[in-house]
Amino acid sequence: MSKWFVIVGLLLLQGCASAYVKSIGGDTGNVYSRIYFTDYNTAWQAVLDTLKSARLDIKNPEAGVIQTRWTENTSEKNFTDSADAGAAYLKAQYRIRVSLAKGFFNGKSSVKVSVQKEQMVQRDVLEGWRPLETDSIEENTFLYRVGRVIAIRVKIAELEEERVKRAMDQASF
């Protein structure tokens, strides 16, 4: 019986702590990351290719930081949240922050790519902007796309290297 009190107490404590963090202005956005076994330049170009349709605000390869400009997405938010009757937004906007960090794992070059989407919404003129937590779909899709672009770039480099090797072998005969 006391075991149940401990479990319920821990659950209540966790809920209170998260409410406290949000009430004092803590960062409500989650950062999603993935590690890719490739060199930094390949990962950087893969991130840029994945964000090619977005307008960039910050692009600093030395710091490993990319940030898009605020993008208006009111119609998309209203469409996706249309099942909730009270979720109509007057305005909605988002931006994406990406950071890259070099590393090594078991002697292999690796890059950690982290992405965070900041979503701001405004329900009426008097309310002002307020942050809205994301559902992580776009962040995970972004990381998947980066991984696919890296895989394609690595495969193309391998095929090119093989082609050059065959050309060298044929030239030596």
At residue 82, does pLDDT exceed 50? yes
Give the whole-angstrom CA distance, residue 168 versus residue 173.
Answer: 9
Q: Supply the pTM of this predicted model.
A: 0.73
72 three-class SS? strand
CB 38 within 8 A of CB 47: no
**CATH code of domain 28-172:** 3.30.530.20
pLDDT digits (tens, 9 = 90+) for 4-46: 544 544 444 555 444 433 433 445 568 999 999 999 999 999 9
Q: Given pLDDT bands bounded at 50, 70 and 90, which one contains residue 132? A: confident
Residue 39: partners with Cβ closer than 8 Å, 6 or more residues away: 109, 111
Instruction: Report the range of poorest mean pLDDT among 20-24, 46-50, 73-77, 151-155.
Output: 20-24
> Can you give the residue ranges of every domain in the chain?
28-172
Contacts of 141 (CB under 8 A, 6+ apart): none
